[in-house]
Amino acid sequence: MKEHDIRPKAIFDEYLRLAALDVQLLFADAPCVCIACPACLAEGSPAFKKNGFQYALCDACQTLYVSPRPVAESFRAYYTDSASTRYWATTFYRETEAARREKIWKPKAALVAQKVRRFGGAAHVVDIGGGYGTFAEEVRALGGFELTVIEPSVHLARVCRDKKLRVVERFLEDIGAGDLGAGPKSFVSFEIFEHLTDPAAFLQSLYRLMQPGDLFIFTTLSGTGLDIQVLWEKSKSVSPPHHLNFFNPWSVRSLLRRVGFETVEVTTPGHLDVDILGNNAGDIPERFWKTFLQFADEQQKSAAQAFMTASGFSSHMMVVCRRPLA
């Protein structure tokens, strides 16, 4: 898989341009608060500023995060109605859905199904922020699973219902345990964690909905992943106002522990780091990776990527955790 298969350059660049304009419009006067490291609560140091947002880096656990951080209300306005979120939900999705289904959602459905079975999770899968329901459809197609999608957006919830998926049209924090039916469940969420204004509060809401022994499997960006480490503030993944938290395989464990979860497994199944570096070679500030990209053939690039994936240093991270039994 290549980056441009799932993020065609012109479409992705237009999205980033609109996002930068939205920031000026919606966040210029937003009240902000300084926050401690969202993983370990230590005090971070200023790292860099991007599109008017200040990022801080935790020296203790290397979590990269926005602080001072605009208050939650500013983000609600942004996600409810803004030019870039509209573009993402319409043009971006329409142009990329077929490719994303094949390249992202089918493999992800297979991988998640494998993790659920391997770690003894329940066959009732609840997708938090299920969007267009593509993941849920692909898991359903595998057979043997019951699906529920939690999706607060009216428009997206309707898309899921049209696909004959069971939808709970609410925000996670407004859902009671009864809304999801009885029995054990496996909760999943994809590419949401990096957007959360308060990750601990999100996990606490989820913990309350879970039964002892239930699994939670999620993916998010890892700030210690290769392309983010090398490109740093030039990384297109470091894109406010969307991406506020970059945990890593080490720091995410302290957050989970603090909320009461048991970490089962943290992996970085990403495949794109080296390709992303190649697509942004002009922004690489240091010598080694520039030289590597100039001379390495496809086989050497694949080997480098395989090492990053296997060693936990890819920027795409998958976490499996559990609400403990006692």
Of the pair 37, 160, the CB lying nearest Zn ion is at: 37
Q: Tell me how far, at minimum, the Cβ of 254 lies from Zn ion, in Å.
A: 7
Q: Tell me how far, at minimum, the Cβ of 262 lies from Zn ion, in Å.
A: 20
CA distance 310 to 93: 30
Of the pair 62, 309, the CB lying nearest Zn ion is at: 62
Of the pair 60, 259, the CB lying nearest Zn ion is at: 60
CA distance 157 to 89: 13
Q: Tell me how far, at minimum, the Cβ of 248 lies from Zn ion, in Å.
A: 10
Of the pair 26, 61, the CB lying nearest Zn ion is at: 61
Of the pair 116, 252, the CB lying nearest Zn ion is at: 252
Of the pair 202, 246, the CB lying nearest Zn ion is at: 246
Rg for the chain (alpha carbons), in Å? 19
Q: Tell me how far, at minimum, the Cβ of 37 lies from Zn ion, in Å.
A: 3
Q: Tell me how far, at minimum, the Cβ of 185 lies from Zn ion, in Å.
A: 30
The tokens of 30 are what? 């937003």
The beta strands (E) that lie in the chain are given as 32-33, 45-50, 53-57, 64-66, 69-70, 124-128, 146-150, 166-168, 186-190, 215-221, 245-246, 262-267, 316-322
CA distance 198 to 175: 17
Q: Tell me how far, at minimum, the Cβ of 41 lies from Zn ion, in Å.
A: 7
* DSSP H or E stretch at residue 300: helix 298-311
| Interface with Zn ion (CB under 5 A) | 37, 39-40, 42, 58, 60-61, 63
CA distance 103 to 137: 15
Per-residue DSSP letter, 166: E
| Identity of residue 203 | L
Give the residue carrying structure tokens 């939670």.
216
